[in-house]
Amino acid sequence: MKKTARIIMACAAAAACLVPARATTADGGAAGRPRLVLGIVVDQLRTDRLEQLMPLMGERGLKRLTEQGLYLRDVRFAPAKLDRASATAMLFTGATPDKTGVASAQKYSPATLKREPVLRDPQAMGNFTNDTYSPRNLRLSTISDEVMIDGAGLGLVHAISTDAQQALIMAGHAGSGALWLDHNTGKWSASTYYGDMPQPASNRNYRHALSSRLDTMQWKPLLPLDRYPGVPAQKRIYEFRYTFPTSARDVYTRFADSPKGNREVTDLAIDYITGLKAGARGDAIDMVCVGLTAAPFKYVKDGDYRLELSDTYLRLDQDIARLISAAERCVGAGNLLVFICSTGYYDDATTDSEKYRIPGGEFSAKRAMSLMNTYLSGQYGQGEYVSAFCDGRFYLNQKQIESKGATREAVAVKAKEFLSKMSGVERVYTLSELLSSTTEEEEAWRLSTDPRDGADLTVEITPGWIAVDDTAYPETRTPVRRGKYGAPAIIWGKGVRQRKVDDEVDATRIAPTVTGVMGLRSPNGAAAKGLNK
């Protein structure tokens, strides 16, 4: 191990000699380049909500960034389906999910015949967790990778999120470390892929463990109820109050989905910035990435989360202001670059009361598989033709199909004909249709589909229905609702001039724009050029 370490250090030193010399400023930073970059991905952040609540926000957070930086009000995510993992990969690579290797957070493994996290890696041990993750399945380089390559490995890139896969994507292949919250233990966790656990995280687990503080936490409104805009009268009578008892089975998931999770991530990021002296490595750029949330809090009792969501935005603003202030104290305002991006989708999946008589029903994936197998058995002979369902996609059984002398594509067409007639199904696409897309709808779904994934059928459920995935435990129930919302992005700091862009900007332009501001090359799979600074 010692010999390997010496070789790595020698290679890094040699690489450093190949980096061209750059002009420096009086404080040691590279001229025209930031010394520290903060990358902030906010899950499900919406432009309309942000602007509605802006008058209630402070002067040092989001208001300051939108007024002084490059403010993109309408970032377009072309894929038909996104989640936190696939959207973050898109933002950091500049490529769509069909190229990144992260089409969704979950994938189906033909080898194990099970669904699993897309970044699961049995070769990578976990620190403070039993989870095994690495970024190896992410197929393209990221903003973080380009920062590390530019500095010949001398800079630091750390990522922190309550979600493991988001942290790994933000840290990239070459990053210094990715940290996430284990939802079973409440410990901050990491992958041995990046080496040893960084000291700030270990200190927090041992000396300031979340499990020792959780029972004392509560979330209540930040402001008097009459100050929140767009809240109905019945929500202004009583204050909400959420606690996080450690005895609850899913307490760490609820915590992560609340503003308290945002605060914990921010606190740890500040520990990293100050404890690791981020931005103090001379010519090398350091980067700290954080994953926060502005998603609806799904644990409301009455299904109306508007008040909680408004409060989430105001607390999010405070956390971002604290993070930026800590960074400015370390490197100075003139040496900091900040970019903030939404994940571009919005999951307000709450079930409307039956008293409103909204048309709908339940689509059971397990029932659909059973009926399709029965139908296909009548067409080709007895057998199990549909082997799995995962994330809205059905997988056919290749061995069964071959044993009957049929082709996978022919069976997929037959299965589509049957599935399309089921109640609650709006559209069905075969893999062949998506790979040769001819319509706008097909193209959107193609961009959401990894061609190596092998899913034979993609089903689109009718709005108003509940998509029930009862093929795995615990089952998930997702009310289907569609809507178009503006997703914002903000780039602020060194090298960025102030302007507001109302026109639609494709999400694949974020990564090359950010690297362009830093004077770096774009990630290797970036599909578009960056915006002018």
* CATH architecture of the domain with range 29-348+483-518: 3-Layer(aba) Sandwich (3.40)
176: closest CA among 188, 191, 158, 193? 158
Residue 499 DSSP SS3: strand
Residue 108's Cα: distance from chain center in Å? Answer: 19
Rounded to 5°, angle at Cα 495 from 494 and 498: 95
389: closest CA among 32, 107, 169? 107
**What pLDDT does 232 receive?**
85
What kind of fold does domain 362-479 have according to CATH? Answer: Gyrase A; domain 2 (3.30.1360)
How many CB atoms within 10 Å of residue 111?
Answer: 6
Separation CA 43–CA 312 (nearest Å): 12
Separation CA 480–CA 101 (nearest Å): 25
Separation CA 256–CA 231 (nearest Å): 24
Domain 362-479 in the same topology as domain 29-348+483-518: no
CB-side neighbour CA atoms (13 Å) of 63: 11
**What pLDDT does 32 receive?**
77
Phi, psi of 411 (to 5 degrees): -65, -35
Residue 185's Cα: distance from chain center in Å? Answer: 22
User: What CA–CA distances, in Å, run from 456 to 23, 342, 387, 411, 448?
Assistant: 55, 30, 11, 9, 14
Handedness of CA 490, 145, 257, 203 (dihedral sign): negative
Separation CA 490–CA 492 (nearest Å): 6
Contact at 8 Å (CB) between 455 and 350? no
Phi, psi of 127 (to 5 degrees): -100, 125
β-pairing, 466-469 with 476-479? Answer: antiparallel
Host H or E run for residue 55: none
Scanning the structure block, which residue is given the tokens 């598989």?
Answer: 369
pLDDT along the chain (533 residues), means of 10: 37 34 38 90 98 97 98 97 97 98 93 90 94 97 97 93 98 97 96 92 92 95 95 87 94 97 97 89 90 95 90 98 96 94 90 87 97 97 95 94 96 97 97 95 96 92 95 90 92 95 98 96 96 80
**What pLDDT does 12 receive?**
39
β-pairing, 36-43 with 336-342? Answer: parallel
**What pLDDT does 11 receive?**
38
Separation CA 198–CA 211 (nearest Å): 20
**What pLDDT does 112 receive?**
80
Separation CA 103–CA 90 (nearest Å): 9
Query: What residue spans define the domains of the chain?
Result: 29-348+483-518, 362-479
Residue type, 474: P
Residue 214 DSSP SS3: helix
Residue 479 DSSP SS3: strand
Contact at 8 Å (CB) between 278 and 156? yes
Torsion angle of alpha carbons 224, 230, 234, 239, nearest 10°? -30
Handedness of CA 510, 516, 518, 524 (dihedral sign): positive
Contact at 8 Å (CB) between 187 and 209? yes
Separation CA 502–CA 104 (nearest Å): 29
How many CB atoms within 10 Å of residue 387?
Answer: 18
Residue type, 289: C
Contact at 8 Å (CB) between 308 and 240? yes
Contact at 8 Å (CB) between 394 and 375? no
Tokens of 225: 């109820």
DSSP symbol at 530: P
Residue 106 DSSP SS3: strand
Separation CA 292–CA 160 (nearest Å): 9
Rounded to 5°, angle at Cα 412 from 407 and 417: 135
Scanning the structure block, which residue is given the tokens 């922190």?
Answer: 160
